[in-house]
Amino acid sequence: MLNFFVHRALLPAEATVGNNILLEHYALGIVMHPNVTFGDDCRIYHHVTIAGEMPVGAPERVVIGDRVTIGVNAVIMPRPYRGLSIGDDAVIGAGAVVTGDVPPRAVVVGVPGRVLRIRKHCELSDNSIDYE
């Protein structure tokens, strides 16, 4: 509750979060549904919404892979009563609205979100987040 009142972020305890997740800008304005699963080494910027029109605890989930970056003001919102997955090493651009699955290493931009390109293996980082 303190996080909500100070930073206007809604980060439910029911969400599953991997190791080394980085919530940029103090998680300011991040809102997520309880049926969300994050992989390891993800980076989420401020004012991101990860929604879902499914009951808490339902088998449908929003699954975000390892090393995913979600830009400022992005919205991830599966279709009603469906899950959604974002593949490993994907990048969701600032302001993108994602309503369907995203393949691994994809760069997604726009409204509605569309795959701009698939990153090559040589473009990927060393699989860790630099906290400095």
Give the ranges where the chain is alpha helix by DSSP (H).
2-7
Please indicate whether residue 33 is annotated as part of the active site: yes
- The token duo for 17 is 């979060």
Could you say which of 7, 25, 33, 47 is catalytic?
A: 33
Give the ranges where 73-132 is alpha helix by DSSP (H).
none
CB 13, CB 35: distance < 8 Å: no
CB 72, CB 62: distance < 8 Å: no
Q: Which residues are catalytic?
A: 33
